[in-house]
A and B are shown apart, each in its own frame.
Chain A
Amino acid sequence: GESVGLHLPTLSVQEGDNSIINCAYSNSASDYFIWYKQESGKGPQFIIDIRSNMDKRQGQRVTVLLNKTVKHLSLQIAATQPGDSAVYFCAEKGTASKLTFGTGTRLQVTL
């Protein structure tokens, strides 16, 4: 079946440094991926998405990279700020409009 997982459960980064959050997926037929940010006690918020016909997509301070050869997805956050502290989830599109979520990586920003 489909599965989405993350390499690191917790990532600690100093304020101002760049963060890289990784995600592995298993369904080579997946054609759409999405990153969400979830702050404690709140619902997930959309960060950025990417389709399988792209290798890279940039947003404001964030970049998503997709390597289909090794089925790997990463989220890069530039100049990490304390407000970036949260749990980050990757998800892949499954059948219909469903998304399959990974277990999440907690990003801790230290001052």
Chain B
Amino acid sequence: DGGITQSPKYLFRKEGQNVTLSCEQNLNHDAMYWYRQDPGQGLRLIYYSQIVNDFQKGDIAEGYSVSREKKESFPLTVTSAQKNPTAFYLCASSIVGTGSYEQYFGPGTRLTVT
């Protein structure tokens, strides 16, 4: 059963703590992405990775960090430097080099920081 999973679905943290969101895919996709979604808004790109051990900043990378040590995994750390971390976080993956740009999304993690 192929797909992309994110865990946990809901996450609560105190201000000042770093937190890591998990994203795993078994679709054999080369590229992976992290988006942030605020209520009533679209998706904003945080980081993306097109190949293992390489990643690039998206539009709103400040206060976030990622790693891509394995093709299947792309964890996102929300650091204490992120001023407004409460949001819905979405991970996605896509094939590279086939001419298809469809991104497959996970179910999301809702992070609440108080």
Contact = CB atoms under 8 A, between A and B. Distances in A.
Interface of A: 32, 34, 36, 41-46, 49, 89, 93, 96-99, 101-104
B103 A42 contact: no
B42 A104 contact: yes
By secondary structure, the B interface counts as strand
Nearest to A89: B42
* A-B CB proximity, top 7 nearest: A43-B105, A101-B42, A101-B43, A103-B42, A44-B105, A93-B101, A43-B107
B94 interface: yes
Interface residues of B, number: 26
A54 to B, nearest CB: 13
B42 A41 contact: no
A34 B102 CA distance: 7
Given A34-B101, A41-B108, 15 more contacts: A42-B107, A42-B108, A43-B106, A45-B105, A49-B101, A49-B102, A89-B43, A96-B48, A97-B48, A97-B50, A99-B101, A99-B103, A101-B35, A101-B42, A104-B42
A34 B43 CA distance: 14
B43 A32 contact: no
A49 B94 CA distance: 14
B21 interface: no
Contacts of B110: 41
Interface in B59-114: 90, 92, 94, 96, 101-108, 110
A44 B102 contact: no
Nearest to B108: A43
Contact of A98 (B41, B42, B48, B102): B48
A96 B50 contact: yes
11 contacts: A34-B101, A41-B108, A43-B90, A43-B105, A96-B56, A97-B96, A98-B58, A99-B103, A101-B43, A103-B40, A103-B41
B45 interface: yes
